[in-house]
Amino acid sequence: MSEVKKSKYINPYIGGVLLGLVILAAFFISGRGIGASGAIKSAIVTTVNTVAPTHAENNWFYEEYNASHANPMKSWLVFEIIGVLIGAFISGAYWKRLKLKVEHSPKISSKRRLIFAVIGGILFGFGSQFGRGCASGACLSGMSLLSVGSFVTMIFMFGTAFIFAYIFRKNYI
Amino acid sequence: MAPLIVNEIISPDTNLLLALLIGIGFGFVLESSGFSSSRKMVGVFYGYDTTVLKVFFTGAITAIMGILFLSLFGLVQMDYLYIHPTYMTSAILGGVVMGGGFLLGGYCPGTAFSAIAIGKIDGMLFMVGMFIGVFLFAEGYPLWEGVYKANFMGTTTMNEILDIPRGVFALGLILIALAMFWVGEWAEKKFPREEY
């Protein structure tokens, strides 16, 4: 039974090489790295532009973004993220992992897992703006070109999580 | 020759189409490596599963070496590549806050998208949180604009501040990564867990 249930994942080092090649392709073709949080920012700015256009003109954050982006949704990252959803779906379908579920440690309830997921998302969303990108954009892609800020953000991101990991062990182990 | 878009070898619309294809590759790698599982993601902080460490640093090394070789052979113009700018205060702050988000939420944004694609409800809730977080930052922007733009250092790179050639820094990073992989393999044996 356990043999049948066991999920199959590719070798992590091969996965890493493939990930590196994806980043290389992005730089080679588009002159930029991969990302994720930027697409969320595009969606937020577009929503505010549509729902509250006057507000978007009065807040510097939206103003600065709109000044440099003609159409926020017709952006590289938005197309890339649509691709991520498709690619992950194909992989999930191939290895038979498509299933609507809440994944959590048996020691905690689904509700607790979901509450923590939202809190974690809020922190990550907020932090990704200070970091000018997330783990993929600010850290991984920036590190590819040896950006100092990327190395600093990466070290503080993994470092903070590592330091506080023990407190939240029940959530995962 | 490269980047293709800057040298007008491809059109802006083709660039967006290729962004979609790059995304498909990215999403496939994330999911097939197991990053659609939060327990697998966070395992690196407890030692029972260091897949994140291995994939992340193998990816970084591959990309760094690839760019070095492409520029060495004159296939890519380094000047045209987007280098992540360094605002030191905000880089540290962002890292700390994202680290907290990673630990509590169990995902980072890219992996959350891959989790959503295969039906993880916790991934979807993480994404709801992401939207709230970015929105809060945008709304309160005047409050933290000063911190956000403090200590700007331009597009400084690691080899520049250490005053060594790019290749030497890359070699050093490869050696550090190999040492971390060794620790990772050791940790997985010491803190074994069943596959999620």
pLDDT in tens, A59-113: 989 998 999 888 888 899 999 999 999 999 999 999 999 999 999 999 999 999 9
Q: Are residues A13 and A90 in the same domain?
A: yes
Residue from B46, B134, B153 to probe the interface with A (highest A Cβ count within 10 Å)? B134
Q: Are residues A68 and A87 in the same domain?
A: yes
Q: Are residues A80 and A117 in the same domain?
A: no
Residue from A2, A7, A22, A46 to probe the interface with B (highest B Cβ count within 10 Å)? A22
Q: What is the mean pLDDT of chain A?
A: 93
Q: Are residues A88 and A116 in the same domain?
A: no
Residue from B7, B32, B144, B185 to probe the interface with A (highest A Cβ count within 10 Å)? B32
Minimal C-alpha gap between B140 and chain A (Å): 9
| B154 and chain A in contact, CB less than 8 A | no
Domain that holds residue A136: 101-173
Q: What is the pLDDT of residue A2?
A: 44
Is there a contact between B98 and A153 if contact means CB atoms under 8 Å apart? yes
**Single residue among A83, A99, A115 that ends a domain in this structure:** A99
Which of A86, A92, A147 lies closest to B155 in CB terms? Answer: A147
Q: Are residues A170 and A107 in the same domain?
A: yes
Cis preceding-peptide flag for B3 (omega within 30 of 0): yes
Q: Are residues A84 and A116 in the same domain?
A: no
Q: What is the pLDDT of residue B21?
A: 98
Residues A110-136 have a mean pLDDT of 97
Residue ranges of B 37-66 with Cβ closer than 8 A to chain A: 37-40, 42-46, 48, 51, 54-64, 66
| B180 and chain A in contact, CB less than 8 A | no
| B136 and chain A in contact, CB less than 8 A | yes
- B164 HSE (CA, 13 A, CB side): 11
Helix axes of A110-130 and B121-139: crossing angle, nearest 10 degrees: 40
Locate the domains of chain B by residue range.
Answer: 29-82+163-190
Q: What is the pLDDT of residue B44?
A: 95
Q: What is the mean pLDDT of chain B?
A: 96
Q: Are residues A85 and A156 in the same domain?
A: no
Residues B158-176 have a mean pLDDT of 97
Residue A1 lies in a domain: no
| Distance between CA atoms of residues A95 and A89, nearest Å | 10
Residue A56 lies in a domain: yes
Residue A60 lies in a domain: yes
pTM, whole model, 2 decimals?
0.95
Q: What is the pLDDT of residue A7?
A: 61
Q: What is the pLDDT of residue A123?
A: 98
Residue A163 lies in a domain: yes
Q: Are residues A110 and A43 in the same domain?
A: no
pLDDT band at B24 (very low <50, low <70, confident <90, very high): very high
Minimal C-alpha gap between A107 and chain B (Å): 13
Q: What is the pLDDT of residue A3?
A: 47
Residue from A73, A124, A132, A162 to probe the interface with B (highest B Cβ count within 10 Å)? A124
Minimal C-alpha gap between A160 and chain B (Å): 5
- With pLDDT > 70 as the criterion, what percentage of chain A qualifies? 96
Q: What is the pLDDT of residue B194?
A: 79
Residue A4 lies in a domain: no
Residue A77 lies in a domain: yes
Q: Are residues A20 and A76 in the same domain?
A: yes
Q: What is the pLDDT of residue A6?
A: 57
| Residue where the block lists tokens 């060594």 | B164
Q: What is the pLDDT of residue B122?
A: 97
Q: Are residues A79 and A111 in the same domain?
A: no
Residue A132 lies in a domain: yes
Q: What is the pLDDT of residue A4?
A: 47
pLDDT, tens digit, for every residue of B133-146? 999 999 999 999 99
Q: Are residues A76 and A113 in the same domain?
A: no
Is a pLDDT exceeding 60 seen at residue A37? yes
**Single residue among A46, A68, A99 that ends a domain in this structure:** A99
ipTM attached to this prediction? 0.96
Minimal C-alpha gap between B186 and chain A (Å): 15
**Single residue among A42, A71, A99 that ends a domain in this structure:** A99
Structurally, how many domains does chain A consist of?
A: 2
Q: Are residues A144 and A89 in the same domain?
A: no
Is a pLDDT exceeding 90 seen at residue B74? yes
Is there a contact between A138 and B84 if contact means CB atoms under 8 Å apart? yes
pLDDT band at A157 (very low <50, low <70, confident <90, very high): very high
Residue A45 lies in a domain: yes
Residue B88: closest C-alpha in chain A: A149
Minimal C-alpha gap between A67 and chain B (Å): 15
Chain A residues closer than 8 Å to B196 by CB: 7, 103
DSSP H helices in A36-137: 37-51, 53-58, 60-68, 76-94, 110-130
Residue A12: closest C-alpha in chain B: B55
Q: What is the pLDDT of residue A94?
A: 96
